[in-house]
Amino acid sequence: MTDAAADAIPHTDPLGLFDAWFAEAQASEPNDPNAMALATATSDGMPSVRMVLLKGHGAHGDGEGGFVFYTNAQSRKGGEIAANPHAALLFHWKSLRRQIRIEGLLEEVTVAEADAYFHSRGRESQLGSAASDQSRPLDSRRTYMDKVEELRAWIGDGEIPRPPHWTGFRLAPSRMEFWQDRAARLHERRQFNRAADGSWSSCLLYP
């Protein structure tokens, strides 16, 4: 078997494989290796997509793997998640010529998790999130900045309370696909599918 025909993506635990690829991206990607496209849809299937940041991954309380991001639950994405918890993620690491697609159901993180992450952020980021009516119309940037300053003056040096609508979501993967660039566009793709018992099967896909 020649090198060109050898599998670069093995059949293995896909969560462990994600960990390995993510570690390589953190070492090689110049900006935001944790950036991922998040695709959601309304209850009638109208899609939308935007970039968010992965803020946690791996096993949680029930031992299952998950991918965590944080947002305003009153934003457009928050409304779509409430109406339809099915979502998809895409990581694209140009420096490694790799991508990973992940599909599954979203669930809200615990209050303790949301509190802990909110208060781990920089103070300016906390103020900006607390003052933002995310996704709602804004007449001018000055209005938003004035709200930030009003909140700063009201709170002073005190702790900034996490708004109840600022929370996080965890995607529990049911399907994961790993893509590796190959010469002459003879790329490699392996799809993993999760069974009801939690085990994973996989197969290669034509590029």
Is 153 inside any structural domain?
no
106, 170 in Cβ contact below 8 A? yes
pLDDT value at position 1?
Answer: 42
131, 163 in Cβ contact below 8 A? no
Strands (E), 7-61: 35-41, 47-53, 56-59
CATH of the domain at 74: 2.30.110.10
Is 185 among the residues known to form the active site? yes
pLDDT value at position 64?
Answer: 62
Q: What range does the domain containing 66 cover?
A: 3-121+163-205
Among the listed residues 162, 170, 182, 185, the single catalytic one is: 185
pLDDT value at position 2?
Answer: 47
Is 107 inside any structural domain?
yes
Helix (H) or strand (E) run with residue 119 in it: helix 111-120
Q: What are the mean pLDDT values of the chain's consecutive 10-residue runs (207 residues total)?
A: 65 95 95 97 95 88 76 93 97 96 97 94 87 84 89 87 92 97 93 96 95
Is 7 inside any structural domain?
yes
Annotate 88-118 with b (16+ C-beta within 10 A) or e (fewer): bbbbbbeebebbbbbbbebebbeeebbeebb
Annotate 131-141 with b (16+ C-beta within 10 A) or e (fewer): bbebeeeeeee
Q: Who contacts 167 (Cβ-Cβ below 8 Å, separation ≥6)?
A: 70, 71, 73, 108, 109, 114
Q: How far apart are CA 107 and CA 118, in angstroms?
A: 18
Is 11 inside any structural domain?
yes
Q: Who contacts 27 (Cβ-Cβ below 8 Å, separation ≥6)?
A: none
Spatial CA neighbour of 168 closest among 102, 120, 101, 103:
120
Is 83 inside any structural domain?
yes
Is 129 inside any structural domain?
no
Cross-strand pairs, 67: 57, 171
pLDDT value at position 4?
Answer: 59
pLDDT value at position 63?
Answer: 46
Counted domains in the chain: 1
pLDDT value at position 81?
Answer: 97
Give the Å distances, CA to CA, from 15 to 12, 20, 32, 123, 160. 9, 9, 20, 33, 35
Is 146 inside any structural domain?
no
Is 133 inside any structural domain?
no
